[in-house]
Structure formats: C-alpha cells, structure tokens
C-alpha cells in the first residue's frame, strides 16, 4: 500500500469519526470493551494489521451502532471512555467489531438488577443491591431494568373444568376424596367387574387336552373326554331301503295254563236297606218325614 492510499484511508476514517460525532444523539455512543483483549489476541491482531502500527494518531475506537439497537443504547446511560496507550491502539476491522446489541446484552447479564420490592407471590429472587457506587453506576444496571413477575391472582377453579389427574399430576386431597360419594362404576367397568357367567357347556362340548406337537417324541397324553349327560340317544344307523317284500311276521303266543277260580271274587257287605213299615203309623211317620 502506498503512502497516498494510506493517507486516504486514514482521512476516510477520520471523516467517518467526525460524522458520527456530529450526529444528533443524546449521548455519545461508544463501544466499551469490557474485557481487554488477551495477549494472544493482541498478537494476532498485531500481525494482521501490522500496517497500522505506524500510526501515531491516537484514536478512540468507535463502533458504529446499529440502527435497531439505538433505543437500548440511549437508555444505557453515560459512556465510559478508555484511553489506550499508543502501542496498543489498533485499528479494527469488521471482524473485530462486536455489535452493540451483543455488548448490551452481555452488560445486562452481568449488571446487578435494580432493587425492587418483590411481590409476595413471587419466588424469583430479586437482585441484591449494589455493593459499590461504581457497580451501581454501570450502564448495565439501567440498560434493561428487570421487572418483577406479575403478581399472580387467585382464580377460582371452575367446576365445569376437569383435568386428567394422570396427566396433570394434581390430585385432590384425601379428605375431599373421603367425603365425596363413591363414584358409580361405569357401564364398561361394571361389565368388567361383574362378568356374566359363562353359558353352560353344551352336551357335545368336551374339554380336550391341548394337541400334542406334531414331531414330539414323547408319548401322547391320554385324551380325557368329558361328556355331558347321555340324554340324547345315539344316532340311528343308516338303513338301506328294502327292495324285497318281507315275510309275514308270526307272533309268539303264550296261553294261560292255570284255570282262574271264579268263587269269592266279589264280597257283598250287608244288603240294600228296604222300608217295611210294621203298621200304618210307621208309614205315616215315614211319609211325613219327607
């Protein structure tokens, strides 16, 4: 690079710095390296930008601010200017520039939160107060003030809403469970708890042993067949229809050989009462009794 190009580049850099300085801002935006670069990083930077080592003019490292993070940086408070020694002044290119957003976020993470009274229902620990005035003056502390979580109000659970206990893990207390009436079993559960008795086995059903394996070398177990009552007659054998006329059957006749005695078969007990009036008076009494 020639000297002329070098001078032009420096002038462009100076113009850009002046333009940034004259920009209408509430505060000077300056990137603040919170952690100085390490020795190795400085050596690397030095080797990469050795051409800028001859620069004698001290410059403030200005990091251009993105437009979208402007509001956060405005709220960040006063800037801190750090002066570096001449030999440590390096001109950084785009790779070495850390955006203001990242810096701001890092500052917010490292800064103590503003002391604020925590609501009674909040479990989030509130940041402890700053121990030193320098710590309290850090822009990080005011860059993004922590807001306490909203106080949780009491909501009455709706009776109509129901949640699955197994899913939510929230279960009712034992007292409420004891006071509550026992739930009626649903139809499906009831059917499971009270199974219908199996139908009586059919007469033809038999409890057969499981079939033996096909290629088993063990002797086959004796099959025990359980049958019901032998109420049904065995099936009639199949009879072929006769084609020839059968001969007339001849019955075997057995006749009585012992004669039956006819005497004293019936016994007459007494006799039929007859009315024999002895005189006219008896007949008159009999007819008047009718």
Question: What's the min distance (Å) between Cβ of 271 and another protein?
Answer: 16
Contacts of 208 (CB under 8 A, 6+ apart): 223, 225
Q: Which residue stretches of 169-279 are H helix?
A: 174-179, 187-193
Q: Quick one: 38 or 279, whose CB is closer to another protein?
A: 279
- Of the two residues 54 and 288, which places its CB atom closer to another protein in the complex? 288
| Cα distance between residue 69 and residue 25, in whole Å | 13
**In whole angstroms, how close is the CB of 288 to another protein at the nearest point?**
5
Burial 65-82 (b: 16+ CB within 10 A, else e): beeebeebbeebeeeeee
The minimum distance between CB 257 and another protein, in angstroms, equals 50
- Shortest Å distance, C-beta 277 to another protein: 7
Q: Closest by alpha carbon to 74, among 82, 66, 84, 85?
A: 66
Q: In this structure, what are the phi and psi dihedrals at residue 133, rounded to the nearest 5 degrees?
A: -65, -30
State in angstroms the smallest separation of the CB of 274 from another protein: 10
Q: Which is nearer to another protein, 173 or 289 (CB)?
A: 289
Residues of this chain that bind another protein (CB under 8 A):
275, 277, 279-281, 283-284, 286-290
Query: What is the gyration radius of the CA atoms in the chain, in angstroms?
Result: 61
What CA–CA distance (Å, rounded) separates 141 from 107? 8
Between 44 and 284, name the residue whose CB sits nearer to another protein: 284
Q: Kindly tell me which of 50 and 274 has the beta carbon lying closer to another protein.
A: 274
């Amino acid at each position: 690079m020639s000297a002329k190009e070098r001078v032009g580049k420096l002038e462009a850099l100076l113009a850009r710095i002046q333009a940034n300085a004259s920009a209408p801002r509430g505060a000077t935006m300056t990137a603040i390296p919170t952690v100085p670069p390490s020795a190795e990083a400085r050596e690397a930077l030095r080797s990469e930008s050795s051409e800028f080592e001859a620069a004698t003019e001290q410059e403030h490292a200005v990091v251009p601010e993105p437009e979208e993070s402007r509001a956060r940086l405005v709220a960040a408070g006063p800037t801190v200017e750090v002066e570096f020694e001449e030999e440590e002044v390096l001109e950084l290119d785009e790779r070495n520039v850390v955006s203001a957003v990242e810096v701001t976020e890092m500052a917010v993470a490292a800064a103590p939160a503003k002391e604020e009274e925590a609501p009674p229902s909040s479990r989030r620990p509130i940041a402890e107060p700053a121990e030193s005035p320098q710590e309290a003056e850090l822009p990080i502390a005011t860059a993004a003030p922590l807001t306490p979580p909203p106080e949780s109000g009491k909501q009455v659970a709706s009776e109509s809403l129901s949640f699955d206990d197994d899913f939510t893990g929230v279960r009712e207390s034992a007292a409420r469970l004891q006071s509550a009436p026992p739930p009626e079993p649903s139809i499906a559960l009831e059917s499971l708890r009270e199974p219908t008795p199996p139908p009586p086995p059919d007469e033809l059903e038999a409890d057969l042993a499981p079939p033996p394996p096909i290629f088993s070398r063990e002797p086959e177990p004796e099959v025990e067949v359980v049958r019901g009552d032998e109420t049904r007659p065995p099936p009639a054998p199949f009879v072929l229809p006769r084609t020839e006329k059968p001969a007339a059957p001849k019955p075997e006749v057995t006749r009585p050989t012992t004669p039956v005695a006819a005497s004293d078969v019936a016994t007459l007990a007494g006799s039929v009462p007859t009315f024999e009036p002895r005189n006219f008076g008896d007949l008159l009494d009999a007819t008047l009794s009718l």
